[in-house]
Amino acid sequence: MNRLLFLLIFLQYSGLLFAQNGYPFPTDEAEWHVTRVSPILGPDDAFDRWVYRVGGETLVIDSTTYVAVAARGTCHSDQSTSYQYEPYVPAQYAIVGGLRQEGDSIFFRRVSFPPFTGAPSTIYAYPLDQEVLLYDFSLEIGDTIEYVTPDRTFVVTDVMVNSQGRKEIQLSSFGCGYPINVLWREGQGCTNGLLETICFYYYAGSCFSSAATGEPPCSIPCTPDDPVLVATTSPAGSGSVRVHPNPTSDILHLSISDPLAPMELTLLDITGQPVLVRQAVRDQDTLDLSGLAPGSYICQVSSPRGEFQVFKVVRLP
């Protein structure tokens, strides 16, 4: 009986340790590719992409060791009707800060103003040379956290475990001047991006990849020869997602290259509110826009793996 009791206690204790440690935050061979729409719609709307990377380098600041975070701008769009990305030149990485993990908490310390074109705008929300809490995976439903800057209080609305066994924390806030929801994923960070877990005014998304844990590379292209966004009057063109005709008065055709399909599609109106949501969009699919008011919309498609693309759609009268 004593042996059985000891074994049960040992197994429970071992399980508790595993639950507490869970998935450690990446320290090497990991990237976060982030997409931003700025603003959501309008005559000066534009798209930006940047990437964060951890590659095993360390920083020692005030006797504290951090994993170095490098970042660079990858590409951006002009305000032409095609909305195709152009790369930032030169495409250079620079160290922007460091991460460290302590138990279930991950801290970030910014060490510089990014000295390059296309730097992630989110960086500037974090105080220079000051360590701040980035994630806390010990939070439970109903807990609150004041995040990065004053009056940005988030409340935990849901805690779950995904199919990989990673803990996921859903947080909501009304302290940004508008409602916002973010999702933290254990061992990966926020689904909006590594640092994109604060109040933000732009619709964003990200793809996480890690060679260390087997997460495949983000395959969203980002060069003029293989543009992220292709909006043409015919199916011709390259890119992971193609739409035609655009503008359209009724039917919009989508072509999605394998193996990205199936994908989820969300159509946003000028206020940023979803007006159409479709699950399991296939490699060749159509959208009927005839029931929508004439004007401009933002269409987002995302794969189950977190790959994210966005493009502008115009509904004609």
Structure confidence by residue, pLDDT tens digits, 190-206:
988 899 877 665 666 78
Tokens in use for 258? 């394998």
pLDDT, mean of residues 146-158? 77
Comparing 10 with 302, which gets the higher pLDDT? 302
**Which residues make Cβ contacts (< 8 Å) with residue 51, sequence separation at least 6?**
31, 32, 33, 34, 71, 72, 74
Q: What is the pLDDT of residue 303?
A: 67
Of the listed ranges 110-119, 133-142, 154-163, the least confidently predicted one is 110-119
Of residues 175 and 71, the one with the higher pLDDT is 71
Residues 242/235, Cβ–Cβ less than 8 Å: yes
The predicted structure's pLDDT at residue 279: 76
pLDDT exceeds 50 at position 236 = no
Q: Give the domains, in start order, of the chain with CATH numbers.
A: 22-210 (no CATH), 229-315 (2.60.40.3080)
- Output the pLDDT for position 230: 33
To the nearest whole percent, how much of the chain has pLDDT over 90?
Answer: 24
Range 86-100 average pLDDT: 81
Provide the pLDDT for residue 304.
Answer: 62
Answer yes or no: pTM beyond 0.95: no
Chain Cα centroid distance, residue 239: 20
Task: Out of 68-82, 217-231, 281-295, pick the least confident.
Answer: 217-231
Phi-psi region of 42 (alpha: psi -120 to 50; beta: other; left: phi over 0): left
Which pLDDT band holds residue 231 (cuts at 50, 70, 90)? Answer: very low
Q: Which whole number is the average pLDDT over 4-28?
A: 51
Average pLDDT over every residue of 134-161: 86
Is residue 82 within 8 Å of residue 231, measured between CB atoms?
yes
Which DSSP category does 13 fall into? H
Does the pLDDT of residue 41 top 60, yes or no?
A: no
Whether the pLDDT of residue 233 is over 90: the answer is: no
Amino acid at 260: L
> What tokens appear for 259 in the block?
């193996």
pLDDT (0 to 100) of residue 217: 72
Q: What is the mean pLDDT of residues 130-158?
A: 86
* Residue 231, amino acid: A
